[in-house]
Chain A
Amino acid sequence: DAGVIQSPRHEVTEMGQEVTLRCKPISGHNSLFWYRQTMMRGLELLIYFNNNVPIDDSGMPEDRFSAKMPNASFSTLKIQPSEPRDSAVYFCASSLVSWLDTQYFGPGTRLTVL
């Protein structure tokens, strides 16, 4: 299995631009998670999908962030408009059944907003 796939691996953009991060979970996994990691705040959950339905989006910082999961094999995290404080590493993870199971992480997308 290829594991969780994320693209792009690196993204550099200017403030105000739209950024779209992509994730392909492990085939057969029913849960998908988006996390953000910074030095200051560590690893934080942004949103959790189960069977393509958002279950917990309490970690989404504000309306500039949105996430979709149109099918079981694809999810996007969009930031519009982006701001310098959004600079971080964004991870996608998936698990077989639910948030209580072992989570498998992708390699992350390093986002820099200038």
Chain B
Amino acid sequence: KQEVTQIPAALSVPEGENLVLNCSFTDSAIYNLQWFRQDPGKGLTSLLLIQSSQREQTSGRLNASLDKSSGRSTLYIAASQPGDSATYLCAVPNSGYSTLTFGKGTMLLVSP
């Protein structure tokens, strides 16, 4: 069964820094990978979906990369802002099952 690990579990940075969040998965036979954002007390918001045939996806200050062979994805946030403070989760489909496996998330705090 697919296992997803996110490192670090928590990250605190000053405003303006560029940062990288990491996601690793055990089964590389994936259709795609999704990055979500979760604000406290709220549901998840989809940020980026990378198809298995893609290596990168960009949206504004966010850039997600995917390396299937090594079982890794990174989410790069440029010029971080206090509004970026949230928990970021990655999710991959389980091979042979109609489900997503989510990582436990990285809790990001960007201080002014």
Residues of A that sit less than 8 Å from B by CB: 4, 42-43, 45, 48, 55-56, 58-59, 91, 93, 98-100, 102-108
Contact = CB atoms under 8 A, between A and B. Distances in A.
Nearest to A102: B46
Nearest to B6: A42
Contacts of B89: 43
Contacts of B31: 100
B99 A59 contact: yes
Contacts of A56: 97-99
Interface in B36-70: 36, 42-46, 49
A48 B97 CA distance: 11
Contacts of B105: 42
Contacts of B93: 99-100
Given A42-B104, A100-B31, A100-B32, A108 B42 contact: yes
Given A100-B31, A100-B32, A102-B34, A91 B98 contact: no
A105 B99 contact: no
Given A48-B98, A58-B99, A104-B46, 5 more contacts: A43-B44, A93-B43, A99-B98, A99-B100, A105-B36
Given A43-B89, A100-B93, A102-B49, A91 B44 contact: yes
Contacts of A93: 43-44
Interface in B71-112: 89, 93, 97-100, 102-105
10 contacts: A43-B44, A55-B98, A93-B44, A102-B34, A103-B34, A103-B100, A105-B43, A105-B44, A107-B42, A108-B42
B97 to A, nearest CB: 7
Given A106-B43, A108-B43, A42 B102 contact: yes
